[in-house]
Chains A and B, each alone.
Chain A
């Protein structure tokens, strides 16, 4: 019996995904260089994995790529809400279901029978990722323009508070990205689908 091929990722989601990969790579690697010029904590990022070469170069990359990151992200979020993509793919998500799925994933027993439906752990991860990226934009705006955005910056600890939140949101994104890539390695047939938009429903 030929495996059933089905549509999984709409074109706009695929384009937004890969543009976001590019934007987030630039934002994080240049952001690490900016961090290194005045580290918040007792460590720095190795210069070899940072972008920009020195502070001014890193800032140029960061403030150039932010436009790609924000415009692409806005298109994705507006599409996700209006088209019902988020509702269909990411909801509902219950804390219990997430815990159960993480448990079975850790035991290597998480089912992937139907790759067109996200399991609870996936839904939670993608939702948290989207939220963290929004937090990065909002805290980033306070860092970029602490006076102009003080009207809400004052509620997140002003400039210094935004600095901490920006860092931790980056760390959260980094963690989810690592797990996400690891999962793709473990279930490799999901990878081409992010280009073609099609996938075999079952293994």
Chain B
């Protein structure tokens, strides 16, 4: 999400500002909505339109969950196809990347998990790891191929005794980002809790100390700088999801 999010105005984007923006975009949107009215569709009430669109987005979450085949693998690519340099993307600019202290770092676990003891980086690095070269697709439209390595997330969830019958896995990140995913995607064989990018320990701009990599979801669903992982049946939402981006956003 390189362009919209690069600007520093994000700091001032309080919920009130977000609401104002939403109202503004609807007003703009209505100029064409007005055209649509010619055919008899009553697009008059902004809040009403937003309600219908939000409900359709929820319906699309269900449709995507149905379409999602837990055994279907995303295509993997040879090293020669890797995009170099791999684009930076976040809701802030590259200069504002958070600097996590690896020595003091502990991954916290919460919610419906049996063993909730925090994990240090050496403990995490000791887990069996796999690599993948897959395509990252941004909600904006661009795509880039990268190589990530880490532990299979389903293995990790099993190891810590996560209740995999729960609906959601939520993530809170050191850069104040948050997101959440469906359990089916969490258990997908290509969903990795990654510590490396291009065979190197993740640099800060790509999410040190860890990023959840899911080639079956859009880029913004792949959280970086993960600090807390929690399992829940309550819809956790997320940073972009709460602003109107589709929650499931599967590939």
Asked if A and B are interacting partners, one says: yes
With A18-B39, A34-B141, A145-B251 in contact, do A49 and B60 touch (Cβ < 8 Å)?
no
Contact of A64 (CB < 8 Å), options: B35, B53, B141: B53
Asked if residues B67 and A145 are in contact (CB atoms below 8 Å), the reply is yes
Tell me how many residues of A have a C-beta within 8 Å of chain B: 38
| Distance in Å: Cβ of B98 to nearest Cβ of chain A | 24
Contacts of A55 in B (CB 8 A): 4, 139-140
The stretch of B113-121, B196-204, B222-230, B237-245 that contacts the partner chain = B237-245
> Interface digits, B98-113 against A, CB 8 Å rule (1 contact, 0 not)?
0000000000000000
Contacts of A154 in B (CB 8 A): 75
Asked if residues B137 and A57 are in contact (CB atoms below 8 Å), the reply is no
| Distance in Å: Cβ of B122 to nearest Cβ of chain A | 34
Asked if residues A53 and B246 are in contact (CB atoms below 8 Å), the reply is no
Contacts of B142 in A (CB 8 A): 38
With A21-B39, A146-B135 in contact, do A56 and B240 touch (Cβ < 8 Å)?
yes
For the complex, give the distance between the alpha carbons of A34 and B143 in Å: 14
Contacts of B64 in A (CB 8 A): 145
Interface of A is mostly: helix
For the complex, give the distance between the alpha carbons of A128 and B4 in Å: 37
- Tell yes or no: A8 within 8 A of B by CB: no
Asked if residues A59 and B246 are in contact (CB atoms below 8 Å), the reply is yes
With A48-B31, A64-B52 in contact, do A25 and B4 touch (Cβ < 8 Å)?
no
> Interface digits, B67-102 against A, CB 8 Å rule (1 contact, 0 not)?
111001111000000000000000000000000000
For the complex, give the distance between the alpha carbons of A51 and B27 in Å: 10
With A60-B57, A159-B135 in contact, do A147 and B240 touch (Cβ < 8 Å)?
no
| Distance in Å: Cβ of B64 to nearest Cβ of chain A | 7
Contacts of B35 in A (CB 8 A): 25
| Distance in Å: Cβ of B170 to nearest Cβ of chain A | 20
- Tell yes or no: B36 within 8 A of A by CB: yes
For the complex, give the distance between the alpha carbons of A150 and B75 in Å: 8
Asked if residues A38 and B138 are in contact (CB atoms below 8 Å), the reply is yes
Contacts of A47 in B (CB 8 A): 28
Residues of chain B having any CB pair with chain A under 8 Å: 3-4, 21-22, 24-29, 31-33, 35-36, 39, 41, 52-54, 56-57, 60, 64, 67-69, 72-75, 135, 137-143, 215-216, 240, 243-246, 250-251
Residues of chain A having any CB pair with chain B under 8 Å: 18, 21-22, 25-26, 29, 34-35, 37-38, 40, 47-57, 59-61, 63-64, 67, 145-148, 150, 154, 158-160, 163
Please, could you name 26 A-B residue pairs with CB atoms under 8 Å apart, sorted by A?
A22-B41, A25-B36, A29-B32, A37-B139, A38-B141, A50-B32, A53-B24, A53-B26, A56-B243, A57-B29, A57-B244, A60-B56, A63-B56, A63-B60, A63-B246, A64-B57, A64-B60, A145-B64, A146-B74, A147-B73, A147-B74, A147-B216, A150-B72, A150-B74, A150-B75, A163-B141
